Amino acid sequence: MFTGIQLGGVNFVIEEVKLVYNVGKQVLKYQGYRIPTKADLLEAKEFILKMEKSASVSNIVQAAKNIPKNSWKRGALISAELAGLFVIGEQLGRGNLIGYKD
């Protein structure tokens, strides 16, 4: 996949950017994606404003009560996993288990 490798040079980066751009164009064309039009953006804005107006504490509480127990459990498990991965990433980034290295 990597073409034109020239360590310390710019050719590697340029070639990889061209590759990602061309593959991305083909994927977008194949999937039928397109750049959103002004009408699409206005429709999304209206939808968000409508959702914002209909949001109330009682609606949110009622929606939370309707979530099945399995979904709550799955959400808690995923949240704990993400928190653990964040902690591990922080430790690796700092290079130390507690605090920062001097």
Whole-angstrom distance, CA of residue 22 vs CA of residue 32 = 15
- pLDDT for the residue numbered 15: 86
Residue range 12-30, pLDDT digits in tens: 788 888 999 999 889 888 8
Helices (H), 32-68: 38-54, 57-65
Asked whether the CA dihedral 61, 67, 69, 71 is positive or negative, the reply is negative
Judgement on whether residues 74 and 59 belong to the same structural domain of the protein: no
Judgement on whether residues 73 and 96 belong to the same structural domain of the protein: yes
Element (H, E) at 12: helix 11-31
Q: Is residue 86 part of a domain?
A: yes
Is 16 within 8 Å of 2 (Cβ atoms)?
A: yes
Q: Is residue 41 part of a domain?
A: yes
Q: Is residue 85 part of a domain?
A: yes
Judgement on whether residues 85 and 96 belong to the same structural domain of the protein: yes
Judgement on whether residues 75 and 61 belong to the same structural domain of the protein: no
pTM metric for this prediction: 0.40
- Could you tell me the residue range of the domain that residue 73 belongs to? 69-101
Judgement on whether residues 76 and 92 belong to the same structural domain of the protein: yes
Is 84 within 8 Å of 78 (Cβ atoms)?
A: no
Residue range 56-86, pLDDT digits in tens: 888 888 888 898 999 999 999 999 999 999 9
Q: Is residue 53 part of a domain?
A: yes
| Distant-in-sequence, close-in-space partners of 95: CB < 8 Å, separation ≥ 6 | 101
Structural domain count of the chain? 2
Judgement on whether residues 80 and 96 belong to the same structural domain of the protein: yes
Q: For 3, phi and psi rounded to 5 degrees?
A: -125, 150
Q: Is residue 29 part of a domain?
A: no
